Structures are given as C-alpha cells and as structure tokens.
C-alpha cells in the first residue's frame, strides 16, 4: 500500500488549534503500518471523550469543543481518520473501505487502551465509531451521536438499485451546483439516488476544494480565511485526497452493500444497549434529518435521556454550534456518572 504523509509544516500556526500531536502506528492490512494522529488534551485521569470527525474534515473540527470539555475536567481524544488530517493517507481510492477504517481504528483503540470512554461521533465518525462501540462495548460507558447514523438499507428495489448503479457508471460528473441542488432537495422516495450525487461527485472530482466546500456548508458562523485554509492544510495537492474522495462511496445505500451484515450485528448490540445514550442533532441538516429517530426508538439506554435538537448549525454542527454541543456532552457525562 502506497501511503502519503503530510509535511508537519502544513500544520503550523493554524487558527485555534494549538494542540500537540500524538501518533500511533497500526497495521495497514497489507504487511505494513499506518500512522494515525490524535489530539490528547485534558487531565490524564479525566473521563475520556472520544471525538470522531467525518468527511471531509479532520480533528480541527473539534477545536471549539476541546477547551470546553477540558474545562469540565474531561480528557479529550480526537483522532484523524486515516486519509485525513495528520494521519497517513493511502494513495489509492481503492485502499479505503468501511471495514478497513473500522479495523484501523480498532487497532488504535486497543493500542491506546481507551476505557470508560464517552463516544461522540458525527458523519463518518459516527459510522466508524459506532462499529467500534458495538464491537468493543466494554471500553465505552456512554454514547453521544450527532448528525450521523449506522445505515442498514433494506428493501431497495432492484429497479432503484440499477438506476443508481447506471447513474454512477455513465452519467456526467455532477457540477457543484447540481450536487448542492440534489442534497438540498432530497428525494424521500429514493434517498439512495440523492446520496449518489455526493458519491459520484467526490469519487470523480480529482481536486475537491475542501476548505471552500466546508465553509459553504456551515450555519451559524463564517469561517475566516485562515480557518478555511486549515481545512485544506492536510492536502498539499490532489494526490493526498484519495480518502475524502473514496469514503462517500463506502456509505451503504443499497441492499447488497458488503458492510450491511456487520452493521446489522452492531444494531443487535444497540437493541440491547442499556448504558446512557444521547442524540444531539441539528435541526437543519439535510443529510441526516430524522437520523436520530432509530436511536431514540430502538436503544434502551436512550429512553428518558435529555436528547437535544440544536437550532441551526448545519451538518458541521461542531463549527456552527460547537460550544453548545460541548456543554451538552459535558452535562451528559456529569449527569450519568
């Protein structure tokens, strides 16, 4: 596996991100290793909060939340997914799968001996992290899910599946305005077709404008030029962007997706999960709208919890409502010890 490593000088003097780097080597699955970066802030004996980001961000997304959680006496662990941030970046899109991300972060979890943790996941951080929780339940005391899910699509007709496959195979690459129009007006009868626009655009767009895309999808505040550039920092050129390009295509949207059996096994765990479980979703995220409902209805530990619906914030609510979300998490930890 060929991998790229972003030079350290790309991460110097980023606005609001003074955190020292920490690294863990894990097996890459091909007789080599990958280096995973994480932030580790707060008291060593503090209750750990594992904060996992999604696509196409990195741990920089949590910079507003880390000081609030640390001030509450918590220890914050915020890793960068493989292919993102300061973590190593396999160079081929085909190197990335849902299962590999789970395997890489299971190794990271064990190597860092994370125990009695509160899990917080958004976007892909939720998909990967919830698998970690389900497969290592003894390491987690509580869960917070924010604008994420664990999809197990069932009942997608072969006609609908065939239409998605044909769209992704032969349609022209959507323009950015076409992509945003599709996401902003999802088809409730065929959600897999709406998401296929995102999958196709990311897979086929060689040089995704990371910072500009994130800046245009934040509600509640405006990124400065320096903050926008910080989201571009992990990617010196297009060759470093295989991870952000690949991961949307790993989201299971059709009934035959290879990750569905493992996700179903995870749901079997969560259907019996008695530990505290909190949903904190924004009210204006078109990607995950309604995604909190399965957790609230199915997870026993979610019953009676003070679930929060944050007003505004958009998909990247750690940017738009970061301090509010951090206080929700801190209060949840305090009230469920």
Per-residue pLDDT reduced to its tens digit, 27-71: 999 999 999 999 999 999 999 999 999 999 999 999 999 999 999
User: Which residues are tagged catalytic?
Assistant: 123, 285, 315
| pLDDT band with cut points at 50, 70 and 90 for residue 3 | very high
Stretch 143-171: mean pLDDT: 96
Residue 84: name the closest of 109, 110, 52, 108 by CA.
52
Rounded distance between C-alpha atoms, residue 271 and residue 267, angstroms = 6
- How deeply is 46 buried, as exposed, middle or buried, from its count of CB atoms within 10 A (0-12, 13-18, 19+)? middle
Position 216 scores a pLDDT of: 86
> Measured on CA atoms in the order 242, 186, 287, 319, is the torsion positive or negative?
positive
Q: Which residue from 51, 49, 196, 65 is spatially nearest to 124, judged by alpha carbons?
A: 51
Q: Which residues contact 117 (CB under 8 A, 6 or more apart)?
A: 47, 48, 49, 50, 77, 139, 140, 141
Given the structure tokens 């003070």, which residue do they identify?
306
- With helix as H, strand as E and coil as C, how does the chain read? CCEECCCHHHHCCCCCCCCCCEEEEEECCCCCEEEEEEEEECCCCCCEEEEECCCCCCHHHHCCHHHHHHHCCCEEEEECCCCCCCCCEECCHHHCCHHHHHHHHHHHHHHCCCCCEEEEECCHHHHHHHHHHHHCHHHEEEEEECCCCCCCCCCCCHHHHHHHHHHHHHCCCCCHHHHHHHHHCCCCCCHHHHHHHHHHHHHHCCCCCHHHHHHCCCCCCCCCHHHHHHHHCCCCCHHHCHHHHHHHHHCCCCCCCCCHHHHHHHHHHHCCCCCCEEEEEECCCCCCCCCCHHHHHHCHHHCCCCCEEECCCCCCHHHHCHHHHHHHHHHHHHHCC
Q: Which tokens hold the place of 30?
A: 């091909």
- The per-residue pLDDT for 188 is 84
Distances (CA, A) of 284 to 43, 56, 64, 147, 223: 35, 19, 20, 10, 18
Q: Which residues contact 162 (CB under 8 A, 6 or more apart)?
A: none
Domains of the chain: 3-153+254-335 (3.40.50.1820)
Mean pLDDT of 121-149: 98
pLDDT at 12 over 90: yes
Stretch 220-224: mean pLDDT: 91
104, 82 in Cβ contact below 8 A? yes
Residue 267 clears pLDDT 90, i.e. is over it: yes
Please determine, for residue 287, whether its predicted confidence score (pLDDT) is greater than 90.
no
Q: Mean pLDDT for the chain?
A: 96
Q: Model's pTM, two decimal places?
A: 0.96
Question: Which pair of tokens denotes residue 294?
Answer: 């399965």
């Amino acid at each position: 596996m060929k991998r790229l490593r972003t030079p350290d000088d790309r991460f110097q003097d980023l606005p609001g991100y003074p955190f020292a780097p920490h690294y863990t080597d894990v097996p890459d699955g091909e007789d080599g290793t990958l280096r995973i970066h994480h932030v580790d802030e707060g008291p060593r004996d503090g209750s750990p909060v594992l904060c996992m980001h999604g696509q196409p961000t990195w741990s920089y997304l949590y910079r507003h939340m880390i000081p609030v959680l640390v001030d509450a006496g918590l220890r914050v662990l915020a890793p960068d997914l493989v292919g993102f941030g300061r973590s190593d970046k396999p160079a081929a899109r085909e190197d990335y799968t849902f299962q590999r991300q789970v395997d890489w972060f299971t190794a990271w979890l064990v190597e860092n001996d994370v125990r009695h943790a509160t899990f917080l996941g958004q976007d892909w951080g939720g998909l990967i992290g919830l698998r970690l929780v389900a497969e290592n339940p003894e390491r987690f005391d509580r869960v917070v899910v924010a604008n994420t899910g664990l999809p197990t699509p069932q009942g997608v007709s072969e006609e609908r599946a065939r239409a998605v496959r044909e769209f992704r195979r032969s349609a022209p690459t959507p323009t950015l305005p076409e992509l945003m129009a599709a996401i902003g007006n999802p088809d409730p009868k065929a959600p897999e077709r709406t998401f296929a626009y995102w999958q196709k655009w990311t897979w086929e767009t060689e040089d995704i404008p990371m910072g500009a895309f994130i800046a245009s999808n934040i509600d509640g505040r405006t990124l400065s030029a320096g903050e926008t550039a910080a989201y571009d920092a992990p990617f010196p050129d297009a060759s470093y962007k295989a991870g952000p390009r690949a991961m949307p295509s790993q989201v299971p949207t059709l009934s035959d997706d290879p990750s569905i059996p493992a996700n179903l096994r995870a749901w079997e765990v969560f259907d019996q999960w008695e530990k505290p479980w909190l949903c904190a979703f924004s009210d204006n995220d078109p990607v995950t709208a309604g995604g909190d409902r399965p957790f609230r209805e199915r997870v026993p530990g979610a019953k009676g919890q003070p679930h929060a619906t944050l007003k505004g914030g958009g998909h990247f609510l750690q940017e738009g409502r970061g301090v509010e979300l951090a206080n929700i998490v801190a209060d949840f930890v305090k009230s469920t010890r």
